[in-house]
């Protein structure tokens, strides 16, 4: 799993998106996180045949922005999809099979009296063990 997390972070750092947000966090943002930022979380299932082993992941990216306009979160969404849509992640010990966006949802939350945009984007990732 560490190698998968590293692949997500490396892809982020190499893309234009890294300059557009304060940080990418794994599972939970720091309490001191500065808007805009992204949090990703992962669900994992194994699949195998008699001779091959696969890993299936659902990766959810949550983009957070506190600007009044939807423009900032929309721009970050475009950068996120440019960074991760149909890419081959480099994961030590595995071959990439697919990374495909499954769905997304944009909502606005009231967080302690402050309105915050949250755009959730989910990807399905399949890899095969070498």
Structural domains of the chain, with CATH:
2-129 (3.30.2000.30)
Contact 45, 54 (CB under 8 A): no
Joined tokens for residue 6 = 């590293």
Q: What is the pLDDT of residue 46?
A: 85
Model confidence band, residue 111 (pLDDT cutoffs 50, 70, 90)? confident
Q: What is the pLDDT of residue 52?
A: 84
| Beta-bridge mates of residue 41 | 60
Residue 82 has pLDDT above 90, yes or no: yes
Residue 47 has pLDDT above 90, yes or no: no
Residue 6: phi, psi to the nearest 5?
-60, -40
Q: What is the pTM of this model?
A: 0.94
Q: Please provide the DSSP assignment of 1-64 as one string.
A: -HHHHHHHHHHHHHSGGGGTSS-EEESS--TTPPSSEEEEEEEEEEEE-SS-EEEEEEEEEEEE
Residue 59 has pLDDT above 90, yes or no: yes
């Amino acid at each position: 799993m560490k190698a998968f997390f590293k692949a997500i972070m490396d892809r982020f750092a190499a893309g234009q998106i890294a300059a557009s947000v304060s940080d990418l966090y794994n599972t939970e943002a720091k309490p001191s996180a500065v808007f805009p930022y992204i949090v990703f979380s992962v669900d994992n299932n194994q699949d195998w045949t008699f001779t091959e082993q696969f890993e299936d992941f659902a990766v959810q990216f949550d983009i957070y922005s506190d600007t009044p306009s939807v423009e900032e979160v929309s721009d970050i969404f475009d950068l996120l999809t440019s960074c991760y849509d149909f890419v081959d992640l480099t994961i030590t010990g595995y071959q990439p099979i697919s990374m495909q966006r499954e769905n997304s949802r944009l909502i606005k939350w009231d967080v302690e009296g402050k309105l915050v945009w949250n755009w959730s984007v989910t990807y399905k990732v399949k890899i095969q063990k070498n």
